[in-house]
Every structure is written in structure tokens, then in C-alpha cells.
Structure 1
Amino acid sequence: MSLLTNTTASPKILGGCHCGKIRFRVSVRKYEALDCNCSICQKKGILHLIVPPEDFELLQGEDHLSTYTFNTGIAKHHFCKTCGIHPFYRPRSHPIDYDVNVRCLDGDAMSLFEIVPFDGKHWEENIQQIT
């Protein structure tokens, strides 16, 4: 299976959790990922690629997802019930979109991305940078 899927639109990249029960395909319009320093992102090591619903396709594993919420309860932090990896979630900043963990993309896809720091420790003061 190839890392990139050929399309006439944006390139599609495959990804998933560690055990392979969750698999997805994401269209990438901009190769930029945010590295947030907030409490949960720092612990998960997530690199954020926020995409609209039409650019995300869950291929398998919906029944293997569990969800964690905290604070406002808006963000839906999805993770694999089997291996515990957080391949994507629905972010507080863009609750109808998907936030894909670039570290969960197949192969060396992460090397295609520019990593941009985001000060999530001061989320309220900085969120306008990504909305």
C-alpha cells in the first residue's frame, strides 16, 4: 500500500493507530502541523493537522474508538481502545472538523510537514491564530 493515494484534488495520506484497528485517509491541503504545548497535547505528543470533514475518511475501527473529554467537554479526544493511541479527534477550536495527529500518518509522511509551535498553555489568548 502506498503512503500517498493519487487523486485529482489534494493528496490523500493514510494513517492509523499502532495496532492497526483504526485506519483513516486524510486529504492534505497544507503541509503545516501545529505543535501545541497545552497539558494534554504535550503528554500525547500530538502534532495537529486540522481538516474539514470532507477531507477525512475513517476507513475502519469506529467500534474500537473510545472518547475522553475534560474541561469544557467540547473537544472529543478519540483514542484506540486496544493500543491507546490518539490518531485523531474533534478539537475545541474547530468542533465540526477533524484534528489528525500527524505522528499517526503512515511511513515518513511527518517529514513532509512544517512544524509550527502553538502556545496552548495560553489557549484563550492564542486561539485566534488558528481560527
Structure 2
Amino acid sequence: MDGLSAHQGGCHCKAVRFEVDLPPHVEVEDCNCSICAMSGNDHIIVPANRFRLLKGEDVLTEYRFNTGAARHLFCSICGVKSFYVPRSNPDGYAVTWRCLDDWQMMDASVTGFDGENWEANAARLAHKSKA
């Protein structure tokens, strides 16, 4: 966990709680896909080994649409999606930035992600990372 520190968060009613290991500066994605745009979901993508669900597995409700690859997980009590399994990183988690207890104190930069044109954007980013 070199340079990483644990941050806790969860849903509005606190039935769902999690912990995630993050670097001192985080990159927050502001996605414009249909579900993120409608819910205002800005998120931080992390590998699964840096995410721990502390409580609430029994109150999570799953929603899938379009390709069915992303697992949108909502608290069945308050309706908040504090994290989900993203289509772009099915082996990780997308943590909702504002669901972190200390989100306002974090050193973060928000970057747009063109989820509305997911396939083209994912291909462009994959090509860019290989360069």
C-alpha cells in the first residue's frame, strides 16, 4: 500500500459501508453516459484488491442495462449508489466520490469521460495507454 491511505464511505442511511485505499491525489471521472449523467455520479475507479465492503451486502440491489456488463449496486433502503462494478473495469470498483466520508478534503481532479460514446472512447483510451 505504498503511498495509499484508507478512506471510508457509504450510502446515505449508512446501511452500506465500505473502505477503499487511495493515493494522495485522485482522478475522478465525470461520465456522461445515461445513468451517470442522470444521477450525477462522479467516481474513482480502483482495483478490487483496494476495495472492502464493510457492511450492507444484504441490502444491495443490482441493476444492469444495455450490455449488462456493469453491475450498478444501490442501497435498497435509501437508494444511493455508493459504488458499482464498471463496464470499463469489471475486475474493480467505481467508488462514488461524494460517498466518501472525506471527499471534500481530498486532493482531486475531475476529468470528463465520454461514456455516451463508450466503445469509441474506450478504444481511444486503450490505444493511448499503449503509446
CA distance in 2, matches of 1:56, 1:108: 16
Hey, what does 1:26 align to over in structure 2? 20
Count of matched residue pairs: 125
* Amino acid in structure 2 at the alignment position of 1:107: D
TM-score by length of structure 2 reads 0.87
**Distance of aligned partners of 1:28 and 1:116 in 2 relative to their CA distance in 1, 3 Å threshold:** same
Hey, what does 2:50 align to over in structure 1? 55
Kindly, what percent of the aligned residue pairs are identical?
Answer: 46
Structure 1 position 111, deviation (Å): 4.3
Moved over 6 A (4+): none
Structure 1 position 109, deviation (Å): 4.0
- Aligned CA RMSD, in angstroms, stands at 1.8
CA distance in 2, matches of 1:94, 1:57: 16
CA distance in 1, matches of 2:103, 2:31: 21
Hey, what does 1:17 align to over in structure 2? 11
Q: Which runs of 5+ in 1 are unaligned?
A: 1-6
CA distance in 1, matches of 2:113, 2:2: 32
TM-score by length of structure 1 reads 0.87
